Chains A and B, each alone.
Chain A
Amino acid sequence: DAGITQSPRYKITETGRQVTLMCHQTWSHSYMFWYRQDLGHGLRLIYYSAAADITDKGEVPDGYVVSRSKTENFPLTLESATRSQTSVYFCASSVGVGGLSEQFFGPGTRLTVL
């Protein structure tokens, strides 16, 4: 009964390094999302995916890359990390994407870029 998990929970990296944040869900939900949470901004959508091999940009996609080769996994890669990408990152999944469909969130990854 793992639900949705994220790894690592905490990560410290240096400017310019590549880092990948992992997200795994056990519900076979079609939709998966990546958000970042910054003070004063709430959550902002980075990327989302409607199914394996289908991804699209959200509100703040610059500097991030996603892939989804399997339904259950949705990794987020920072190709060359910058200090402005220091944030808490949340992965979420849902059965549907519109209406009142509920998004289920992972526990988050706190990323610090030095």
Chain B
Amino acid sequence: AQTVTQSQPEMSVQEAETVTLSCTYDTSESDYYLFWYKQPPSRQMILVIRQEAYKQQNATENRFSVNFQKAAKSFSLKISDSQLGDAAMYFCAYRSAYINNDMRFGAGTRLTVKP
């Protein structure tokens, strides 16, 4: 089964600075989809950004962007101009293109934003 690893249990960033959260995954599949979800203190998971494996161009959503390195099986999330509202748990997730219900989540990274 595919596994998703987030090697940084906690990260902190100064307000207005940039931070990168790491995510690696293990798969033998050639086609798949990757996601970053945010879980604020309210607990409700919110989709931040998503990427198709066969697309070389890195996805971008406003201040959020990814660095997708398919050969390295890496999918890091960059948050630019960090804001206090970015403080949350961030989960990386992998979805197989072959087994639709199979979505695997990493253990999460807790991001603290310092004013």
Contact = CB atoms under 8 A, between A and B. Distances in A.
B28 interface: no
A97 B100 CA distance: 6
- Among A42, A45, A58, A102, the one with the most B-chain Cβ atoms within 10 Å of its Cβ is A42
Interface in A29-53: 33, 39-45, 48
A90 to B, nearest CB: 7
Given A42-B108, A43-B91, A100-B33, A48 B44 contact: no
A79 B9 CA distance: 34
Given A41-B107, A45-B101, 13 more contacts: A39-B107, A40-B107, A43-B91, A43-B105, A45-B102, A58-B101, A97-B101, A98-B97, A99-B95, A100-B33, A102-B47, A103-B47, A103-B103
Nearest to A48: B101
A100 B46 CA distance: 14
B90 to A, nearest CB: 11
A61 to B, nearest CB: 12
Smallest CB-CB A-B distances: 7 pairs: A42-B105, A98-B100, A105-B45, A43-B105, A97-B100, A108-B43, A42-B107
Grouping DSSP codes into helix (H, G, I), strand (E, B) and loop, the A interface class, with mixed when no group exceeds half, is loop
A88 B43 contact: yes
A38 to B, nearest CB: 9
Nearest to B52: A100
Contacts of B43: 88, 107-108
Interface in B20-59: 33, 42-47, 50, 52
Contacts of A108: 43-44
A106 B33 contact: no
B4 interface: yes
Interface string B64-108: 000000000000000000000000000101010100111111111
B67 to A, nearest CB: 18
With a 10 A CB-CB cut-off, give which of B42, B93, B101, B105 has the most chain A CB atoms: B101
Contact of B95 (A33, A58, A98): A98
A35 B105 CA distance: 11
